[in-house]
Amino acid sequence: MNQQNMIEAAGLAKRYGETQALDHIDLEVPAGTILGVLGPNGAGKTTGVRILTTLTTPDEGRGWVAGHDVVREAAAVRAKIGVTGQDATLDEALTGRQNLVMVGQLCRLRRSAARSRAAELLGLFELDDAADRVVRGYSGGMRRRLDLAASLVMRPPVLFLDEPTTGLDPNSRQRMWGVIRGLVAEGVTLWLTTQYLDEADALADRIAVIDHGRVIAQGTPRELKAATGSQLLEVTLVSPHAGAAAAVAAFALGHVSVSDDGRRLRGVVRSESGLATAVLRALDQAGVLVDDIAIHQPSLDDVFATLTGADTAAESMAIVEGVLA
């Protein structure tokens, strides 16, 4: 494996009965960066996390975390990782503090060290007031924070967060984002799965979109947006003009719609540099006077829908138009 990568998956595959949960995925996460693994429910996100965190063995392929093979050197991997699962992995009958002390002791800290680390984390995650209450009575946001705290007891260099904000209210979500940003500023390498595009967009350095167990696209959020290849062109005319639609249609990938008053034209266009100038020149040659021209980058939502749901160009354009309408 590449020494620069803290996490690497090479051809990982896993089948559960008839379902191919992971279908030979290759992913790399350079040290100190966040990989956002984005996909709908059942896409294989959790299976990927379970393999890389030694909870499940792959049928095929290999995985490395901090240079250690996740199957052959599982114990070495466990010493380097923190994991926060989609379902909180806490002991419901213990208090928050008892959970953290237990984890610390199982990480071979002395009892006194485990206790002081627990107190520190409870403070950092604003759980002091609830520290000595049984976890069963915690709210969803408190559970997630305690779960994350439990993953950080040994200050692991590699963290796996499986849908850390699913089901949280907006406040708790913002708080969790703050925590995650802080961790990465510290140099932690993070594998973050999420169903939320805005989350991946806001936090991740790189995004891998997975669906049906396969990586269907990866890149920076910006690259992904550009990779769909289409943008929405909107032109507002000074007054309706018969030649305008034809001039715009030369750039469009499909139908160009004209508003009822004949002044606004919309169409999906292939993104290329200098597009706005080219469109303006064409309109100018047709004798059309333009008030306003706008080219929108598609949102990640469009990218996502395009990649996971809609295979044909027509469908993806319909989605882009639908979202931006």
By the criterion CB under 8 A, which residues form the site for another protein?
A: 16, 53-57, 75, 78-79, 81-83, 85, 87-94, 98, 102-103, 105-110, 113, 117, 120, 124-126, 134, 150, 152, 154-155, 175, 178-179, 182-183, 185-186
Of 157 and 254, the one with the shorter C-beta distance to another protein is 157
Nearest approach, Cβ of 285 to another protein (angstroms)? 57
Give the number of other Cβ atoms within 10 Å of residue 277's Cβ.
10
In the chain, % helix, strand, coil (3-state, to 5) comes to: 35, 30, 35
Of 85 and 221, the one with the shorter C-beta distance to another protein is 85
Of 52 and 300, the one with the shorter C-beta distance to another protein is 52
Nearest approach, Cβ of 135 to another protein (angstroms)? 10
Q: How far is CA 80 from the centre of its chain?
A: 22
Provide φ and ψ at 45, rounded to 5°. Answer: -60, -50
Give CA angle at 197 (48, 90), nearest 5°: 50
Nearest approach, Cβ of 102 to another protein (angstroms)? 6
Residue at 179: amino acid letter: V
Nearest approach, Cβ of 76 to another protein (angstroms)? 9
21 Cβ partners below 8 Å, 6+ apart?
Answer: 14, 15, 44, 47, 213
| Residue 181: strand, helix, or coil | helix
Of 131 and 288, the one with the shorter C-beta distance to another protein is 131
Nearest approach, Cβ of 202 to another protein (angstroms)? 17
Q: In whole angstroms, what is the distance from residue 21 CA to residue 47 CA?
A: 7
Of 172 and 297, the one with the shorter C-beta distance to another protein is 172
Of 124 and 202, the one with the shorter C-beta distance to another protein is 124
Q: In whole angstroms, what is the distance from residue 103 CA to residue 99 CA?
A: 6
Nearest approach, Cβ of 36 to another protein (angstroms)? 19
